Structure 1
Amino acid sequence: MVVLLVFGQVVGKGRVIQCAAVDSYPVLHKYIQPGDLIVSAIVSQAIFATSPKHFKCQPAGILSEQYALIPQNYQHILALEFAVKEINENPQILPNLTLGFYIYESYMNPRLTYRAALQHISPRNRFVPNYRCDMQDNVEAILEDIETENAEFIHDLLQMYRIPQLNVKGNDYMTKSLKVFSELYEKMMTSTANVIILGGQSCNIIHFRCLILFMQTVYLMPKRKGKVWIVTAHADLKAYGEGKCGDVQIFHGMISVAIHSNELQRFQEFFKSRKPSSAEGDVFLRDFWSHTFHCAFPNSVLGTVNQVNCTGDETLKDLPASEMSMTGHSYSIYNAVYAVAYALNAMHSSKDIQGERRKLSSQQPWQLHHFLGCISFNNSAGDQISFDGNRELIVGFDIISWLTFPNQSVVRLKVGKIPSQELSGQRLQIDEEFMVWHPRFNQVQPLSLCSKNCNPGYRMTKRKREPFCCYDCLQCPEGTISDHHDMPDCFQCSVDHFPNKNQNYCIPKRVSFLSYQEPLGAGFLLVSLSLSLITVLVLGIFIKHHNTPIVKANNRSLTYTLLNSLLLCFLCALLFIGKPGKIMCLLRQTAFGIIFSIAVASVLAKTITVIVAFMATNPGSWMRKWVGKRLSISIVLSCSFIQVGICTIWLLNSPPFPGVDMLSMVEEVVLECNDASPTMFYCVLGYMGLLASVSFQVAFFARKLPDSFNEAKFITFSMLIFCTVWLSFVPAYLSIKGKYMVAVEIFSILASGAALLVCIFSPKCYIIVVRSKLNSRVQLRRKN
C-alpha cells in the first residue's frame, strides 16, 4: 500500500485514533478495495468530538467524553474526500488505481502528533518504529498541517526516510507564542491605540477570548470595544465555535490573512447533498449535523437533554452560502491531494514510457520528489497550481474581514489579496468599499498613531525611550527630499534635478550658460564692442598723425602692436559668451593668454625703450647700440614665444573640451568649457601675471625720468590697475560657480584691457586732438 499522510491538531484532550485496516473503517468502503492506493490523514483543529465507541477503528487510548465540536473544520475532511472522489472518477489521473484515505487525530498534543508519525514507519497493527515486519503501510507523501511547535521535529523525522512533505498552511505569517494574555489585557483595552496585532498559533484566540471573559467577570473590568484586530493566518473565529467563550463581537471588523481560496465546481453540491442517512461510515457528519442544526441524535455525547432530537430531514441547502464557502485551509488540502495524485501519475507514466513499469507498492517515497516539484495543473476552480524553484507553492493570500452579529454568528468577507511573489511589482490590494469597521468608527478608516504623519519634505526620527511607532518629524537636510508621508530617511534628487522649496519633489534643472540673450551677456557684448570701437578710433588717430612727435616717440611699431593686441583682447571676450562649442573651447583660454601676453610684452618693451633711450643720451654710453626697433621687437617676440609654448603644450596634451557641470549649481545644469588641465590654465595666467609685475616694476623705476616723451608714469598707473584686476580675479574665480565664473573672467579681460587703453593712450589722444599745438618738438622741449 501507498500511504498519504496529513498532519494536524484539534482542540481537547485524548489519544490518537488509529484506523489500521481498510475493513475496520467503513467510510473507506465507498472508494477502496483491498490492495488499492490508500491515503492516511491526521487532520487538524478539532474536526470531531466524540467517544471511541463511535469509531469502528482500534483506539490507541482513552478519549475524553466531552470535546468542543468545531463544525467549520468538518469542511477539511470533505475537501479531502471530495478531492479523492474526483481523482478516482477521472480516468486521466492514476488509471487502474483507486485512491482512498485514513484519518488520524492528534488533539493538539505534540507527543501524539509525533507518535502518529512514528506509526507510519511501524508495522500496521504494532507500534514498532523503523522495523519492517508483518503488514506495513508504505508512506508515499505527507500533507503537513502542523503548528509551529510541532513542525520542526516532525519534519526532521520524516526527512530521514526521504518522504515527500507538502505543507498545506502558509509559514509568510507564523509567529512566536503570545505572552500571558491576562497581563496584557488592561494595557491593550485601555490604550489609546485603535489597532491591536495578535499573533500566535491556532489556539491563541480561544485562550484570548476566554481570558477576556475571565477578566470581565472575575475582575469586573469594563468591556472595551472598538479595536481593530489584525491577526495571523491561523486565527479563525468560526473554527472555534461561536459563543463558547466570551463575546465574539469584540472582534467585529477583525482583519486576517488567509491562504487564497476559490469556490470549487460541484463542491457546494457535494457538501449540501450530505445527510446522516446516506453518508455511510461518515462518523463526523452526525456531530457536525448536531451542532449546525442545534439538535441531538440518540446516544450522542453532544448537546444537552434540553435539545430537540435531530430528525435527519434537515437540509444543508438552507444554510447561508457564507457558511458553506470553502476556506483557504480546505482549499489547500484539496490542491495538495491533487498535487500528489498528479505527481504519482507523472512518475507512473514515466516508467510506462521507459518500459520499466512496476507495481506502485514497490516504489520508494523519495522517487516522488522530482515529480512534485515539476507538476503544474489547473484545478476545477481555474487556479493554476505550480511550484517555484524552491519547490514552494506559488500562491497568494486573501485579506479577510470578519463580521460578527449579536447571535454570535460570524461571516467572513474577502476584501483584498496579496498576489504571489511571482507577480513582480504587485503589492497588497484592498477594496476599501468592502471594508467593515467597528461601529465606534462610523465606517471611517480608523487611525492608530502616537505621532502625526510626517508630511513630504520631512523625515521620521525615533523618540528615545518610546515605542518604535512614536517619532518626531524633522525637515529634510538641504539638498534632499522626501516625496511620501512617514519616510524614515530623505534622499537626494538625481544629478539633473534639484529639490523644490518645500523639499517634497524634484524639479528638472534648467540648462545654463552665458548667452547673448540675457542681460549680463548682452552687457558684456556691448562693452566689448564699445571698447573695440574706441581702440579702432585711437588706432586711426595715431595712424593719421603718425608723423607727429608724440606718435613717433616711444616707437610707433610698439604703439600699433599694443593697440592691435588690445583690440583683439576686447574681441577675445566674445569667445566666452554663447553656448560652448569645440572650437570655442580650444581657442578661448589660449587666445586670451597669447594676446594678453603680446599686449603686456609691448608695454614692457615700451618701458624698457624709455629707459634705454634716456641712458643712451649720456656721453660715451654703450647703450646706444640698443636704441632702435631691434630691442623692442626682441622683447615682444621672446616674451610672447614663451606663452605660445605653454599654450601649445596645453593643446597637445589635454585640450579643453565642451562639458556639462551638473553638481556646482543647485538649480542649473551648466554648459561649460572644461579646461581639462587646471594646472596649464594657471600656468598661462601665472606667466601673464609675471610679465605684468615686471612691467610694473620697470615702469615704476622709470616714472621720474626727465623726458617730455616719457610715458613711464602712465604705464606705471595702468600696470597697477592691471595687476590689481588679475589679483582679484583669482579668489573671485575660485569662489564662484557656473556661468558667473565666465562672467568674472570676461570682466577681468575687459577691465584690464581698458586700463591699458585709457591710462596709456588717453593723454596722447588729448594732446593730438584737443591740444594739437603742443604736438611739436619745440613745445614739448619748452614744457620740459
Structure 2
Amino acid sequence: MQALIFAVKEINSDPNLLSNITLGFQVFDTCLTLRKAIQATLQIMSGRKEITPNYHCYKDSPLAAIIGDSESTGSILMAQILGLKRFPQISYFATNPMLSDRGLFPSFLRTIPSDEFQMNGLAQLVLHFGWSWVGVLASDNDYGQYGLQMVKQEIIHGGACVAFSENILTAQPNRNAPHLVQIIAKSTANVVIVITSDVDFVIVLEEILRQNVTGITWVASEALATSDLLSKERFREILLGTIGLAIHSGNLPEFSKYLNSLHPVEHHHDLFIREFWETIFSCYWPYQNTLVTLLNSSTVQTCTGKEKLESLPTDKGHRVSLNVYTAVYAIAWALQNLLTCKPGTGPFADGSCASISTFQPWQIPLSKCSPSCSPGFRQMIVPGEPLCCYDCARCPQGHISNQTDAVECHPCSWDTWPDLHRIKCVPKTTEFLSFEEPLGYGLTSTVMISSPIPLFILGIFICYKKTPIIRANNYSLSCLLLLSLFLCFLCSLGFIGYPQPEMCLLHQVSFGMVFSLCISCILAKTITVIIAFKATKPGSGLRKWTGVNVSYYVIGFCILIQLFLCVIWLIFSPPFPEYDTDTKPGIIIVVCNEGSPTAFWCMLGYLGVLAVISFIVAFLARRLPDSYNEAKFITFSMLAFLSVWVSFIPAYLSARGMYTVAMEVFAILSSSWALVVCIFVPKCYIVLFKPNVNSRKHLLGKRGPM
C-alpha cells in the first residue's frame, strides 16, 4: 500500500508526466477474504459506499484502473466482474495461468510472471540436482492447485517421480497439518516442493516441530521462498538448506527513504502504519483493549515509537513493492499516451482520441496487427503474414465461438443450433405437421367438413333404397363404399400431429387398408354391372353370378392381398418416428420413417394396380345402356383417382419436412372427393331434384334394343 501511495505522489510531483493532471487513489482492504474483495470491487465500480449494480457516481474524475488483488482466487473473481465493463485491472501478485486468457479476462493485466514459468523453473531445479523422488505440498486454492498440476507434469515429463502430492486445507484451522506431517515422515522422499503462502505453511512447520521431523530439503515457491516469517530462529533447523524461486527484486532508493520517513506518531490517523510497525518490529502498541493482555504477558514487547526503520534490511520488501510501483506507473503512462493523443492519429474509430476527463475504461490503447475477432468469429491465418496478423472469419454453419479471438469454432450438439450471432447454442426448432399450424389447421378443418358427406349420402340411400335408381346401382355395395369413403376421410387425421410411435406404426397401414376396401368396392360394382348386363341376354351362363356373393368374394380377395403386404411390412420393417436434422439447418423435422421404402411403395403400387384394373373394366363397360350407366361414372372416378396419385408421386419425392405429410393428406382428400363427386353426386341429384327420372318406367323406356 505504501508503494502505491509513494508512486502516486512521485507521479504527481513529476512535471513531465501527466502535467496539470493529478492522480488520486482509494485503498480497500480485502482482509484476504473473497467476500471483502468482491464487496470492494463493486464499491469501486459504483463510486460510493452503497453498492449499486450498473451505476457509478464519479462526479469529478473517472476511474482509470484497479490494482489488485494479491491472490489469484480473488483476482479471478474481480476480473470476471471488472471484465464485463472492461475496467483495467493490474495484479501485482496473482500468478494463476488462467488469467492470461484474454477471452475470459479481457481487461486483466499483471506485473508478475505467470505460474507457467515458475512451476517449470521449480521442476528444472529439482531435475538439476538429480532428485528423482520428490513430494509435493500445495494449498487447496487456485494458486496451489494449478501449480501442483503443472509442476507434477513437468517433473514426470523430465523423468522423475512424485512420491506424494497432498493439499494444505486452508479452510481448516490446523491446515490438515497432522496428516501432512505423517505423510512426510513415512515417505522415503527427502525433497518436498511447497506451493503455498507463508501464512498457511507456518502452521505445518509448527506441527513438524512438534513431531520432530528433520532431514527434509524444501523447495519453495515464490510465495514462500523470501518470507520473513520463515526466517525465524525456531524454524532454522527445519528449513536449513531450503531453496526456491523469488520475484525479481529492484533497487528503489527513494522508496526506502520514504519508508524510513514514516512514523506512527506523525501519522497517528493511519492504522495501517501502526499495524506495519507492529509487524516489522514484533511489538504491540498499548491499546486499551489489549492492555490486560500486555500486562499479563512477560514475553510481549511494547512498541515505544523509538524503533528505527533504518536498522532493518530494505531489499526484501521491495519485491512485491516493485510490482505495485510498476503497476502504478503503467497506468500513468497509459494516461499520458491518452493525454498526448492527437485527433486523426488516435487508436479509435476514424483516428479519434479519448478525452482525459471523460474517458471510458476500455479506452487504455492497444497495439495489435489485427483487430480482435469478436465472439461468433474465429481467427484465420493470412498466408505470408506473421501469426499476429490474421483475418476474422465467421464461424461456419452449425458452429459457435463464445470468446474473443477464438482460434477455432466449436460445433453444436445434434439437437442445438447457433443463435443469430453464433455465440451460443440454442435448442433447435421442432417441425412437424401440427394441428396448430395454419396448414395443419386447414387440412383438419377440411377433414371435419368432408367426412360427414359420405354419411349424409348414405342416409339418402337408406331413405330412398326402394327407388329404381338406387336399386339399379347395387344398394349394398354402394353403402359399403360410402362407409369406406367415410373412413378414407378420417384416416388422413392420423398423419397430422406429433409423430408418436403408435401413429407412425398404423397411419400408412390404415390408409392402405381403407383405400383397398374402397377401390375393391368400386371394382366389385363394375364387375357386377357387366355381369348384370351380360346375364340378361338369352342363354347366358352368368345368371348364377348375379348375386351379391360375387361382389364380396372380389372385395375379400383384394383386401387379403393388401393385408398380407401390410402384415409383412409391420413384422419385418415397421415404421418408426425419426428426427431429421440434415434436411433443414437449425430445424429438427420429426417424421415417420416408413421403415421399408419398398414395402411402402408396394402398398401404394397395389392400390394403383386395383385402380387401373377398375378403370380398364369400367372403360370397357362404358357403352352399356343408360339404365346401367354406373360404368361411365366409375370410369371418370378412376380417371380422377389415378390423376391425383400420379401427380402425388413427384410432389411427394420433392417435398421436405411437414410438406411431405401434407402432400399425402391432400392426395387422400382429393382422391376421396373425386370418388364421391363422380360416383354419388349424380345419383343424389336425380334422387333429390329429379324424382320424375327416378322411376322404373323411365329406366326401362331408355333401354335400347337387346
TM-score (norm 1): 0.47
1:129-528 matched pairs, under 5 angstroms = 257=113, 371-372=189-190, 380=198, 382=200, 436=331, 438-439=333-334, 441-442=337-338, 445-528=364-447
SS at match of 2:366: coil
Q: CA deviation at 1:590?
A: 1.2
SS at match of 1:773: coil
Between the aligned partners of 1:725 and 1:395, the Cα distance in structure 2 is: 84
Between the aligned partners of 1:630 and 1:544, the Cα distance in structure 2 is: 24
Residue of structure 1 in register with 2:22 after alignment: none
Match of 2:461 among 536, 542, 561: 542
Between the aligned partners of 1:476 and 1:396, the Cα distance in structure 2 is: 42
Q: Deviations over 1:597-617 (max 9, x none)?
A: 010111112222233333334
Match of 2:655 among 736, 745, 751: 736
> Which one-letter code corresponds to 1:575 in the other structure?
G
Residue of structure 2 in register with 1:115 after alignment: none
| Residue 561 (structure 1) aligned with residue 417 (structure 2) | no
Residue of structure 1 in register with 2:534 after alignment: 615
Match of 2:640 among 699, 703, 721: 721
Residue 405 and residue 447 in structure 1: after superposition, are their counterparts in 2 closer, same or farther (change >3 A)? farther
CA contact (8 A) 1:481 1:506 kept: yes
Residue 487 and residue 757 in structure 1: after superposition, are their counterparts in 2 closer, same or farther (change >3 A)? same
Q: CA deviation at 1:668?
A: 3.9
Residue 552 and residue 445 in structure 1: after superposition, are their counterparts in 2 closer, same or farther (change >3 A)? same
Residue of structure 2 in register with 1:631 after alignment: 550
CA contact (8 A) 1:609 1:632 kept: yes
Q: CA deviation at 1:720?
A: 2.1
Residue of structure 2 in register with 1:697 after alignment: 616
SS at match of 2:627: coil
CA contact (8 A) 1:496 1:509 kept: yes
> Which one-letter code corresponds to 1:717 in the other structure?
F
Q: CA deviation at 1:335?
A: 14
Residue 434 and residue 683 in structure 1: after superposition, are their counterparts in 2 closer, same or farther (change >3 A)? farther
CA contact (8 A) 1:496 1:508 kept: yes
SS at match of 1:487: coil
Residue 582 and residue 334 in structure 1: after superposition, are their counterparts in 2 closer, same or farther (change >3 A)? closer
> Which one-letter code corresponds to 1:706 in the other structure?
P
Match of 2:489 among 570, 573, 588: 570
Residue 707 and residue 261 in structure 1: after superposition, are their counterparts in 2 closer, same or farther (change >3 A)? closer
Q: Deviations over 1:195-236 (max 9, x none)?
A: xxxxxxxxxxxxxxxxxxxxxxxxxxxxxxxxxxxxxx9xxx
> Which one-letter code corresponds to 1:676 in the other structure?
G
| Residue 770 (structure 1) aligned with residue 689 (structure 2) | yes
CA contact (8 A) 2:133 2:189 kept: no
SS at match of 2:417: strand
| Residue 579 (structure 1) aligned with residue 498 (structure 2) | yes
Residue 334 and residue 736 in structure 1: after superposition, are their counterparts in 2 closer, same or farther (change >3 A)? closer
Q: CA deviation at 1:371?
A: 1.4
Kindly, what percent of the aligned residue pairs are identical? Answer: 43
Between the aligned partners of 1:609 and 1:404, the Cα distance in structure 2 is: 118
Between the aligned partners of 1:328 and 1:727, the Cα distance in structure 2 is: 76
1:3-14 matched pairs, under 5 angstroms = none
CA contact (8 A) 2:133 2:191 kept: no
Q: Deviations over 1:124-176 (max 9, x none)?
A: xxxxxxxxxxxxxxxxxxxxxxxxxxxxxxxxxxxxxxxxxxxxxxxxxxxxx
Residue 550 and residue 468 in structure 1: after superposition, are their counterparts in 2 closer, same or farther (change >3 A)? same
Residue 582 and residue 646 in structure 1: after superposition, are their counterparts in 2 closer, same or farther (change >3 A)? same
Q: CA deviation at 1:377?
A: 9.2
Structure 1, unmatched stretches of 5+, are: 1-232, 234-252, 263-326, 344-367, 386-391, 417-430
Q: CA deviation at 1:636?
A: 0.8
CA contact (8 A) 1:256 1:399 kept: no
Between the aligned partners of 1:415 and 1:577, the Cα distance in structure 2 is: 75
CA contact (8 A) 2:370 2:389 kept: yes
SS at match of 2:626: coil
Residue 455 and residue 602 in structure 1: after superposition, are their counterparts in 2 closer, same or farther (change >3 A)? same
Q: CA deviation at 1:495?
A: 1.6
Q: CA deviation at 1:551?
A: 1.1
Residue of structure 2 in register with 1:358 after alignment: none
CA contact (8 A) 1:400 1:415 kept: no
CA contact (8 A) 2:434 2:440 kept: yes
Between the aligned partners of 1:451 and 1:588, the Cα distance in structure 2 is: 59
CA contact (8 A) 1:260 1:396 kept: no
CA contact (8 A) 2:192 2:219 kept: no
Residue 550 and residue 464 in structure 1: after superposition, are their counterparts in 2 closer, same or farther (change >3 A)? same
Residue 661 and residue 259 in structure 1: after superposition, are their counterparts in 2 closer, same or farther (change >3 A)? closer
Q: CA RMSD in A?
A: 4.8
Between the aligned partners of 1:692 and 1:565, the Cα distance in structure 2 is: 15
Residue 602 and residue 260 in structure 1: after superposition, are their counterparts in 2 closer, same or farther (change >3 A)? closer
Q: Deviations over 1:483-505 (max 9, x none)?
A: 33333433432122122333333
SS at match of 1:774: coil
> Which one-letter code corresponds to 2:520 in the other structure?
A
Between the aligned partners of 2:551 and 2:605, the Cα distance in structure 1 is: 23
Residue 707 and residue 254 in structure 1: after superposition, are their counterparts in 2 closer, same or farther (change >3 A)? closer
Between the aligned partners of 2:117 and 2:396, the Cα distance in structure 1 is: 48
> Which one-letter code corresponds to 2:428 in the other structure?
K
SS at match of 2:482: helix
If each structure's helix is expressed as a fraction of its own residues, which one has the higher value?
2
Residue of structure 2 in register with 1:125 after alignment: none
CA contact (8 A) 2:419 2:425 kept: yes
CA contact (8 A) 1:656 1:675 kept: yes
Between the aligned partners of 1:432 and 1:546, the Cα distance in structure 2 is: 104
> Which one-letter code corresponds to 2:514 in the other structure?
I
Between the aligned partners of 1:574 and 1:567, the Cα distance in structure 2 is: 12
> Which one-letter code corresponds to 1:604 in the other structure?
L
TM-score (norm 2): 0.52
Q: CA deviation at 1:559?
A: 0.9
Q: CA deviation at 1:715?
A: 1.8
Q: Deviations over 1:452-495 (max 9, x none)?
A: 23333333322222222222233333343333333343343212
Q: Deviations over 1:324-377 (max 9, x none)?
A: xxx99899989999x99998xxxxxxxxxxxxxxxxxxxxxxxx9961478879
CA contact (8 A) 2:195 2:220 kept: no
Between the aligned partners of 1:721 and 1:394, the Cα distance in structure 2 is: 93
SS at match of 1:714: helix
Q: Deviations over 1:541-579 (max 9, x none)?
A: 111111222111232222111111001111112222333
CA contact (8 A) 1:457 1:476 kept: yes
Between the aligned partners of 2:616 and 2:322, the Cα distance in structure 1 is: 90
Residue 436 and residue 688 in structure 1: after superposition, are their counterparts in 2 closer, same or farther (change >3 A)? same
Between the aligned partners of 2:596 and 2:222, the Cα distance in structure 1 is: 60
SS at match of 2:375: coil
SS at match of 2:628: coil
Match of 1:748 among 644, 667, 676: 667
Residue 539 and residue 341 in structure 1: after superposition, are their counterparts in 2 closer, same or farther (change >3 A)? closer
CA contact (8 A) 1:259 1:329 kept: no
Stretch moving more, 774-783 or 567-576:
774-783
Between the aligned partners of 1:687 and 1:764, the Cα distance in structure 2 is: 29
CA contact (8 A) 1:261 1:331 kept: no
CA contact (8 A) 2:221 2:246 kept: no
CA contact (8 A) 2:134 2:192 kept: no
Between the aligned partners of 1:593 and 1:780, the Cα distance in structure 2 is: 37
Q: CA deviation at 1:660?
A: 4.3
Q: CA deviation at 1:593?
A: 0.8
CA contact (8 A) 2:504 2:592 kept: yes
> Which one-letter code corresponds to 1:257 in the other structure?
P
Between the aligned partners of 1:703 and 1:561, the Cα distance in structure 2 is: 23
Q: CA deviation at 1:659?
A: 4.7
Between the aligned partners of 2:615 and 2:120, the Cα distance in structure 1 is: 95
